[in-house]
Amino acid sequence: MLEIEVKTYEELTNEELYNLLQLRSQVFVVEQQCPYLDIDGKDINAVHILGKKNTKIVAYTRIFKPGVYFKNASISRVVVNVKYRNKEYGYQIIKVAITSINNLFNTSVIELSAQAYLKQFYINLGFNTLGNEYLEDNIPHIMMIKN
């Protein structure tokens, strides 16, 4: 089972911040061969959800209250270390993100910009598509919402 922690930016340790940024870079920049600026200035305003195995961050996402990233509350930077995929850690981290948004921001309406190949993953978690696919950093994405 994944140990999951929910922390504000101020609550993150230096090591946790370093490790989550390293994981995001490993997957979004190196593995997906997409040179873009992952450190987008939004982490300071996010609540961070860390999935750990033996104190190592192997899954991660961040959430935002309504109006910070999108009009509604939102989830972004969902990532699982390649060595830990197919263990349902992605589902676990998103379920905690949904619960955290409900509890912290008092809303159940959640938006996200999903990589298109993960559309069914998010549909399984109760999200619906909004509009057509579009390119974001040369990767097909689709807007999704959960009411």
Answer with the residue of higher pLDDT: 31 or 145.
145
pLDDT confidence band for 95 (50 / 70 / 90): very high
For the chain, the domains span 3-107
Cα atoms in the 13 Å half-sphere on the side-chain side of 123: 8
Tokens of 118: 């993960």
The per-residue pLDDT for range 97-134, each reduced to its tens digit, is: 999 999 999 999 999 999 999 999 999 999 999 999 99
CA distance linking residue 30 with residue 27, whole number of Å: 6
Write the CATH number of the domain with boundaries 3-107: 3.40.630.30
Beta strands in the chain (DSSP E): 3-8, 47-53, 56-64, 73-80, 110-115, 128-136, 139-146
CA distance linking residue 73 with residue 112, whole number of Å: 9
Secondary element (H or E) of residue 4: strand 3-8
- 3-class state of residue 12 by DSSP: coil
The per-residue pLDDT for range 61-91, each reduced to its tens digit, is: 999 999 999 999 999 999 999 999 999 999 9
